Amino acid sequence: MSTKPAILVARAVFPEVLQRLAQHFDVESNQDDVLYTAEELAQRLQGKVGVFTTGSERIGAALLAQCPDLRICANMAVGYNNFDLPAMTAAGIVATNTPDVLTETTADFGFALLMATARRMAESEHFLRAGLWTRWSYDMFAGAEVHGSTLGIIGMGRIGQGIARRGALGFGMKVIYSNRKPLDAATEAACQARFVSKTELLQTADHVVLVLPYSAEAHHTIGAAELAMMKPTATLVNIARGGIVDDAALAAALRNRTIAAAGIDVFEGEPSVHPDLLTVPNVVLTPHIASATIPTRLAMADLAADNLIGFLIHGKALTPLNAPAH
């Protein structure tokens, strides 16, 4: 019988990460990548002191009440809206995430999605694949200017700052941002960004990029009223979290040309996508892949593993989200 602490790795992950964890723990893995129901997850967690989670595993009071041995949940994500942090803290469970390691990769993707949206790449590719391209015309899929335009960023954390730098330094964009509070002067200067109200940002920006964390207060930060404030030539990009945007209102705004186009990587109720978004041509849709490069995903998995090893073996998590009393 193993004397190592027992942990669950709830989704498929890099084999080398499992091998590293197995040096320290009795690991139950899920390389078949089965999506566990709440009941199945609770059952798998019996006798486990730690769990390696992704955004698909919801950790709340009801689950924790069934898992008396659990001490840490290590999320392989920077976001953690799958965690009920107050319930975890009350239950004495440490929660961790994976900040920093995905900042530049996600900022790259955010800018790629902005470019694809502004320049109508997906729409024009569908046109070409359908055999509809028969001749050149002066206005065929003429999109929005990116270079020298105004970039509005809502949520100016690490990733938002990365997008700001790309826009200002690489594309000569005028950068404005809205945040819970202004950045310090040195960070603003490095990003060449100016703090404005959300209303001013929506009314002024040619391209609006959402990078704010999800919370109850942030739910539907962008709805019908906000979309109506935007320029009809503007684009909207969401690489934040599903629920930040009212997807039904967005589909209607795209259909009615309230705004010109949108690029969306995250969705309400994902992996399901609002059916109306699938029927409008002026939207680029991607399946939550902003951090999806092999080096970055491996770094995320390694940091989640490091949190489990750090806490359960050495007594200290590397990137804790809470500090429950033990």
Assign domain 6-101+294-314 to its CATH architecture: 3-Layer(aba) Sandwich (3.40)
- φ/ψ bin of 164: left (φ > 0), alpha (ψ from -120 to 50), beta (otherwise): alpha
pLDDT of residue 3: 87
Do the beta carbons of residue 146 and residue 171 sit within 8 Å? yes
pLDDT given at position 1? 59
Q: Taking Cα atoms as reference points, which of 96, 224, 119, 100 lies closest to residue 162? A: 100
In the chain, the amino acid numbered 9 is V
Contact indicator for 176, 170 with CB cutoff of 8 Å: no
**Local structure of 197: helix, strand or coil:** coil
Domains 6-101+294-314 and 103-285 share a fold: yes
Predicted pLDDT at 326: 62
pLDDT value for 325: 76
pLDDT of residue 34: 96
- Residue 243's pLDDT is 94
Q: How many CB atoms lie within 10 A of CB 139?
A: 5
Question: 231-267: b or e for each residue (b if 16 or more CB lie within 10 Å)?
Answer: bebbbbbbbbbbbbbbbebbbebbeeebbbbbbbbbb
Residue 325, burial from CB neighbour count under 10 angstroms (0-12, 13-18, 19+): exposed
257 as an active site residue: the answer is: no
Spot the catalytic one: 11, 241, 274, 297.
241
Q: 25 burial class (0-12, 13-18, 19+ CB within 10 angstroms)?
A: buried
241 catalytic residue (yes or no): yes
Tens digits of pLDDT across the chain (326 residues): 568 999 999 999 999 999 999 999 999 999 999 999 999 999 999 999 999 999 999 999 999 999 999 999 999 999 898 999 999 999 999 999 999 999 999 999 999 999 999 999 999 999 999 999 999 999 999 999 999 999 999 999 999 999 999 999 999 999 999 999 999 999 999 999 999 999 999 999 999 999 999 888 999 999 999 999 999 999 999 999 999 999 999 999 999 999 999 999 999 999 999 999 999 999 999 999 999 999 999 999 999 999 999 999 999 999 999 998 76
**For residue 73, how many C-alpha atoms fall within 13 Å in the half-sphere facing its CB?**
34
Q: What is the model's pLDDT at position 2?
A: 66
Would you kindly state where each structural domain of the chain is located, as residue ranges? 6-101+294-314, 103-285
If one looks up domain 103-285 in CATH, what number appears?
Answer: 3.40.50.720
Residue 326 annotated to the active site: no
Model pTM score:
0.92
Alpha-carbon distance of 307 to 73, in angstroms, equals: 9
